[in-house]
A and B are shown apart, each in its own frame.
Chain A
Amino acid sequence: MLEVGGITKRFGGLVAVDNASLSVPEGGIVSLIGPNGAGKTTLFAVIAGFLKPDSGTVTFAGRDVTGLKPHELCRLGIVRTFQVVQPFANLSVRENIAVGAHTRIRSRAAALARAGEVAHQLGMDAMLDQSAGALTVAGRKRLELARALATAPQLLLLDEVMAGLNPTEIDEIVHLIRDIRDSGVTVLLTEHVMRAVMDLSEYTYVLNNGAVISAGEPAQIVADPAVIEAYLGHGASADPAAAGAEGGHA
């Protein structure tokens, strides 16, 4: 469904993403992990149209979408959430979600009704008339998810949607994401919370210094010496078992 081929993105002399390629099959949950500063968010921004790559291509459903604007990609069915949540603070939760629904629905009444349905799906009924600015962190993360879903996407890009949540809230979001995938939406996510990555994803790419250093099923990934070295530094791979346990908490 999504093919990212040889993406490179430079900021001045800094190569943030270095010839990175990945592939997301339709109906899958694929994750993208890596230490801080590895270039995950930059690669995400390139896929979602917020940054133009210096080289490389993004292909979505067989169509070259490299360099399209975010709103054009959204209409094609690719939607992203933000690591730092971006609610429309002065609008109610319902109005926030309706903005997403308007991507496919012209009528105001129909979009507001659709917002109610999406909120119900995500268990946000009680918050509908609250101002988005008054939500808790968990509420805001959920709102990001709800707004994105309301655009009726085929591919959902989740940028650290669990950062800052407590274990209970993480479990809830993990369930939600699985439900979303089961409803037919393909998911690509970046994440720091290893437990969630292990639980959720069927395939994982590891990014370090902008380059993909490893790819595979999560269980294989944590045993890969290159990955352990990226997370824990030189020499750590001498004892893979111990390092793997450490990595699990990263």
Chain B
Amino acid sequence: MTERTRSILWLVLLAALILAPLAVTSGRWIQFMELTLFIAVLGQGWNILGGYGGQYSFGHALFFGTGAYIQALLQFKFGMSPWLTMWFAIAGGVLIGSFVGFLSFRYGLRGSYFALITLAFAEAFLVLARSFISITEGGRGVQLDLNQDPDQAIATFQFTFASDFLQANGYYYTILIILILASGATWWMARTRFGAQLAAVRENEDAAAALGINAFRVKMAAICMSAAITAAAGVYYTQKFLYVDPGLAYGPGKSVEALVVAIIGGLGTVLGPLVGSLFVHGIGEAAKEVVGLVLGDRPGVDLILYGVILVLVLAFMPKGLVGLLEAGWRRLSGPAATKDTGDA
């Protein structure tokens, strides 16, 4: 694929995502797309550390939950503006990320040890959020007041009673903007010295160190960037549902979805998380429909499917769906096509 075709495809995709709400008026489809983009943001956050940096986290809910909780609590307790709290939320995610990163990377924890320590931290925060009732409201969760004044819609970052357009699409564009910023940052990162050094650390840490790379610093930067994006997804989540509780924030669900879509989509590719999220949720929805027609309502069918798909992708498509699409494209454009060295 030439640079030119690639740029055109990027623009088409971007335009499609921006214009989608104008073409699709069905609320259900907008909800489907919104959820897909939300999980894609989680996946992109995970992808920076896991896909580009090779540090597989099983506890990204830690950053998501911290972002969501800070966003909710600062508004709930101090009545701060959500436009201000979001910066604290993102900073809080980065702070937790650097703490966990420091502990793990300082002592050279890699592979399954790193995965376990992130999982343990997420679980610890789940317990803390339940127990520190005076701070977190405990298991009851934090419920934010619903703004019913259309004039305050923007100021309160709540679109339930906004103008017709914002009411239907406000949250869709919120998460789309976050995804575009996250993907743009990822794209840019992969083309810098930092991106090259991160890839080197992923491939072989000793060799990277011998070539002058401070692996500790590179991994710290990666986990901070990863945590910032994941915490931003938490900000969106709180504003969208105006509610957070320990299970939603720190439960394993978000950690698993983040890594599943990133791996299925294609590790270390800009487009991977979005492609993975579209695929996984498309299949999930379709499965629910089909099984619903045949067997009646069977909750959990989509989860079984996720598992099966993940196993198949890991076994047969190490480069994920993006790798498959690129191979398909090369075959279609024939042997004359220019060699493709960049990532999607």
A associates with B? yes
Q: Is the CB of A88 within 8 A of B193?
A: no
Chain B interface size, under 10 / 10 to 19 / 20 to 34 / 35 or more? 20 to 34
Q: Is A129 an interface residue (CB 8 A)?
A: yes
Please measure, in the bound complex, the distance between the C-alpha atom of A99 and the C-alpha atom of B204, giving whole angstroms. 12
**A71-B206 contact, Cβ under 8 Å, with A92-B341, A99-B200, A102-B196:** no
Q: Is the CB of A129 within 8 A of B193?
A: no
Q: Is B23 an interface residue (CB 8 A)?
A: no
Residues of the B chain whose Cβ atoms lie less than 8 Å from the Cβ of A105 = 193
Residues of the B chain whose Cβ atoms lie less than 8 Å from the Cβ of A82 = 206-207, 210
Q: Is B209 an interface residue (CB 8 A)?
A: yes
Q: Is the CB of A71 within 8 A of B212?
A: yes
Q: Is B31 an interface residue (CB 8 A)?
A: no
**A111-B206 contact, Cβ under 8 Å, with A71-B213, A79-B211:** no
Least CB distance, A199 to chain B, in whole angstroms:
26
Residues of the A chain whose Cβ atoms lie less than 8 Å from the Cβ of B333 = none
Q: Is the CB of A91 within 8 A of B206?
A: no
Q: Is A190 an interface residue (CB 8 A)?
A: no
Q: Is the CB of B206 within 8 A of A86?
A: yes
Q: Is the CB of B215 within 8 A of A71?
A: yes
* A contact residues, total (Cβ < 8 Å): 34
B191-235 CB mask vs A (1 if < 8 Å, else 0) is 111011101100110111111111100000000000000000000
A70-87 CB mask vs B (1 if < 8 Å, else 0) is 110011000111100011
Q: Is the CB of B196 within 8 A of A86?
A: no
Q: Is A141 an interface residue (CB 8 A)?
A: no
Task: Identify which of residues 109-151 in chain A touch chain B, using a CB-to-CB cut-off of 8 Å.
Answer: 111, 129, 147-148, 150-151
Q: Is B339 an interface residue (CB 8 A)?
A: yes
Please measure, in the bound complex, the distance between the C-alpha atom of A22 and the C-alpha atom of B339, giving whole angstroms. 49
Question: Which of A70, A74, A98, A150 gathers the greatest number of chain B CB atoms within 10 Å?
Answer: A70
Q: Is the CB of A151 within 8 A of B206?
A: no
Q: Is A63 an interface residue (CB 8 A)?
A: no
* 24 A-B pairs whose Cβ atoms sit less than 8 Å apart in the complex: A71-B212, A74-B210, A79-B210, A79-B211, A86-B206, A86-B210, A87-B203, A87-B207, A88-B204, A89-B204, A91-B203, A95-B196, A98-B196, A99-B197, A99-B211, A100-B211, A102-B193, A102-B212, A103-B212, A103-B213, A108-B191, A108-B193, A111-B196, A147-B207
